[in-house]
Amino acid sequence: MRKKVLAGNWKMNLNSNQSSVLFSEITSSFIDNSYLKIIVFPPFLYTKDLLSIDSNVSIGVQNFHPESNGAYTGEVSVSQIKDIGVTHTLVGHSERRTLFNESDDFLKQKVDAALKNNIEVIFCCGESIEIRESANPEDFVTKQLHSSLFHLSKEEIQKCMIAYEPIWAIGTGKVANEDQISKMHTAIRNEIKSKYDEETANQISILYGGSCKPSNAKAIFSCENVDGGLIGGASLDSNSFVELSNCF
Ligand code: 13P
């Protein structure tokens, strides 16, 4: 059975001390649990410190460069993140797509580089408010999957998770409603099934992200085909994050 997943994307927040305190508060509250996987994505600078702590929480990076080395001033390479023991990465977050102009093709390169280095991918997708209001959001999101993820083999895609994050719900306090979430997650799973097969579709965890917090998480996590959450703001507070883990 596919795992439930609770992932915290800390984005560009916290200083070194705050990051260590938050991590230790989180790790001391989670018991080892084969049912729920917990992953945090700290700012890159603090990754190595957190990796040196023995815990049942996985550590991922928010970003990396797909080349192994070279003249890419300021970037951190896929082999460097592998070298320090990172196990997970986000790819395709809407903030990377829009603020840093990451194209579908570049995301495809990042997906390939991560998997080649045995780093598990959470591939993010999601539509803008304009698309939600004027077009077919399910078509838009499934196209994002075809553009940057569905070139993978069946074995490769089984090492990925997908996070549906409607852009209009990220950091806005506006949450997609249960119908919208179920419809999108079911469309994503059906698309995996038609591109690959039922077994593959049933193995891939599909997370929801966008203003998810303890007060709405139970309803979100009970929606059809939702296997967990990718949490921004509410992951910066250990009480909220731990509370979210009890909403499954
Ligand atoms: P918020 O939970 O702050 O809306 O952020 C969601 C997100 O972007 C997680 O990647």
Compute the average pLDDT of residues 214-225.
97
How many C-beta atoms surround the C-beta of residue 175 within 10 A?
Answer: 21
Mean predicted confidence (pLDDT) in 22-42: 89
Confirm whether 93 is a catalytic residue. yes
C-beta atoms surrounding 4 within 10 Å: 19
pLDDT tens-digit series, residues 47-76? 999 999 999 999 999 999 999 999 999 999
Instruction: State the distance from the centre of ligand 1 to the C-alpha of 8, rounded, in angstroms.
Output: 8
Distance CA 60, CA 80 (A): 13
- Percent above pLDDT 90 for the chain: 94
Helix (H) or strand (E) holding 47: helix 47-51
User: In the CATH hierarchy, which top-level class contains the domain 4-245?
Assistant: alpha beta
pLDDT of residue 73: 98
**Residue 97, token pair as written in the block:** 């797509």
155 is catalytic: no
Shortest-distance atom of ligand 1 to CA 169: 4
> How many whole angstroms separate alpha carbon 181 and alpha carbon 126?
11
Per-residue pLDDT, averaged over 188-212, amounts to: 97
Nearest CA to 239 among 201, 213, 207?
213
pTM given for the model: 0.97
Tell the residue number behind the tokens 């059906």, with chain if given. Answer: 190
| Confidence band for 32, pLDDT divided at 50, 70 and 90 | low
> Does the Cβ of 230 fall within 6 Å of ligand 1?
yes
Q: Are 91 and 114 in contact (CB under 8 A)?
A: yes
DSSP secondary structure code for residue 193 in this structure: H
Give 213-218 contacts, CB < 8 A, sequence gap 24+: 213/240, 213/244, 214/240, 214/243, 214/244, 214/247, 216/175, 217/244, 217/247, 218/247
Residue of 162, 211, 241, 247 with the most ligand 1 atoms within 8 Å of its CB, for mutation = 211
The answer to whether the CB of 231 is under 6 A from ligand 1 is: yes
> Strands, DSSP E only, in 71-192?
88-91, 120-125, 160-164
Res 35: pLDDT:
86
The SS3 of residue 97 is helix
Residue 89's identity, in one-letter code, is: T
Q: What is the pLDDT of residues 112-169, one digit of tens each?
A: 999 999 999 999 999 999 999 988 999 999 999 999 999 999 999 999 999 999 999 9
CB atoms within 10 A of CB 244: 24
What is the token pair recorded at 213? 């917090």
Mean of the per-residue pLDDT values for the chain?
96
**Catalytic-labelled residue, pool 93, 102, 127, 185:** 93
Percent of the chain at pLDDT > 70 equals 99
